[in-house]
A and B are shown apart, each in its own frame.
Chain A
Amino acid sequence: MKVGLFIPCYIDQFYPQVGIATLQLLEKLGCDVGFPTNQTCCGQPMGNSGCEKDSAKTAQLFVENFKDYDYIVGPTASCVGYVKEHYNIIEQTVAVSHVRRHIYDLSEFLLDVLKIEKLDVSFPYKVGLHQSCHGLREMRLGASSELNVTYFSKQRQLLEMVNGLEFIELDRTDECCGFGGTFCVSEEAVSAKMGKDRVADHQRNGAQVITGGDVSCLMHLEGVIRRQGTGIKVLHLAEIFNGATI
């Protein structure tokens, strides 16, 4: 099984450790992972800003980079979701539909494709999970609290496989953190307030670590935490599954 590793632009530039953890984790689980070195971005920033036409070339480049892999896996639901849901802006060639059908967020790839049932790591801390909105309501990695459906959360299911990890229940299980792409600067006040409230929920409930499957949300929350100096650690799920310590 040839897996193409998709590392979104901001992970590449600012959170390489998340990319490294994802790569190592997939290798440990027996995947033959390749990293196409000419990749850049999925195109979401332009699309969400109303300029999806400007993201067409980026989308084409993405497909060019990943079309020969059996699966494409990225540690961020938002960008993966963009490829899946919004690549209708370019011509639907065989390559494009192959990429759209075989791209996975890391958590769902671990559970639905690799079908893993245990993780050989321990992480003896109190952990709060920030379920990103795109992961939840676009990718359906879990049941959102608005719906009357049986509860599930792929990310939580994986966290429960980690030895010693204590899962923290939040007051608002899936409230948005306020990142929202360019929203974080165009609506700075609301965005920062939402981030602050999200961190406070974790803090109130005793989390030592905030984790999640989307680096964009985590970057935002970490920005709030570092400004406040509250000392809560922020780690991507891949880092925990790959055996990170704090």
Chain B
Amino acid sequence: MIAPFTWKAVLGAVLLSALPSAAQGPATAKPSPASRPGSPEKPAAKPSAPSATKPAAQGVTLPKPTTVTLKNGAKLLLVERRDLPLVSFSAWLRGGALGAPAGKEGLAALTAELLQKGAGALDARQFAEAVDGVGGSLDVVPALEAIVINGQFMSRDTGLMVELLSDMLTRPRFDAKELEKTRERLVSEIAAAKDGDPRTLIAAYFQAFHFSGHPYGAPVSGTEASLPGLTRKDVLAYAKNHLGADRLILSVVGDFDAKALAEKLEASLGGWTRAATPAPEAPTTAASKGRRVLLVDKPDASQTYFWIGNTGVSRSDPDRVAVELAETVLGGRFTSLLNTELRVKSGLSYGARATYTLNSRPGPVVISSYTKTESTEKAIDMALDVLSRYRQTGMDDATLSSARSYVLGQFPPTLETGAQVAAKLSELAFFGLDASDVDAFATQVNAATRDSVRAVIQRTLPAPEDLTFVLIGKAADVRDMARKYGAVTEMKISDKRFAPPTTAAKP
């Protein structure tokens, strides 16, 4: 009913590809500057501080947390913030979908869902009542490399919050009936998503097709084919191997006494055992050579949705600030090169973007848009042309200056709330980064030069001859055209996987 925002085309559902990344933080509905409907559609606000053109604008710095490492390896980061009667936390458990054995895609997601379906003395219903009853919130987000639990409670309910969180972590029930129900629901949700806007799913197809054979290609949420085979035994094994104190980074921000809270957390989490296996690590990823196309047939689609890209950069890439500037100019804001061509000048699309997905290892870097079936070729050619020109020429000084101001100006609201700060603290610790990622951001943005950004563009954006294409649309009308871009693999949107069987993720 609300006609959505004028700009606002996020192409990719974080949930299915589920990659807590630098820009996005944990993949859920985290509080954001626009903590209402528009926000998911807005370009993710990005890092930084004082502006190039505006001398010494105030920036934001990350508060220094009280840090406690328990004997069992759990890491706690606590920040007192007393302005509102709220407590927010962000708990990251290393492992995520990477910890699921081959063929058991979705196991981490299923396990994560079940954490809130009964724990300690509470069954699923009682657990939900406990959270809802005080107006609290708890979101469990299964992601590629972690399971993330975010929560927010009234400070008067801090004790309850600690109790519920530690029950979830240390005493989940994994009740058989709840497991069966949840598994069934997860399958149905994927089927239902395929009836919806393809923008919510195309990331999963890209990830599965592009990273075929690599753990990054295994769909985080599982597939309609993989989920039904998951058993309680699988869940228990996953929990034993991958849920443990040494995998936990827990940040809490809000209205509490840090010393008292640390004691409370130590009392409730100190006895938690370590995970039975070492944390999984993804093998390195690399750019693929040549071009290939996955065409996903959605027979009634009136529009073609596309992602075109390759492998980009990791969250800890030393040039990540330049990468952010490069992304902003190519497709990270409304006046980006892509949106200007595909939307503003030509009216072909409601939106066009460029996105780097940042994980421990380089994830996808893609350009993405959608257009009516008839103009598919025109829009893709236009997007490729923009990419190609950008790789050759980079940006001029005025554009660099504008991009600097933009990322700096949009940065402070990304760290406005306790929940945002908690998520950032956990994210940085997870990726082995420190506060300079926030505190020195402005300096680094201002230090970027045309040459340094151009070098990064050439290093991190795909060459025109090496591209993975994923198209979701009406195959009967775009099949012939798609062949122009490379060898075409075709599947139906009703197929129960996100990549054709031959390219399904292998160990």
A, B co-complexed:
no
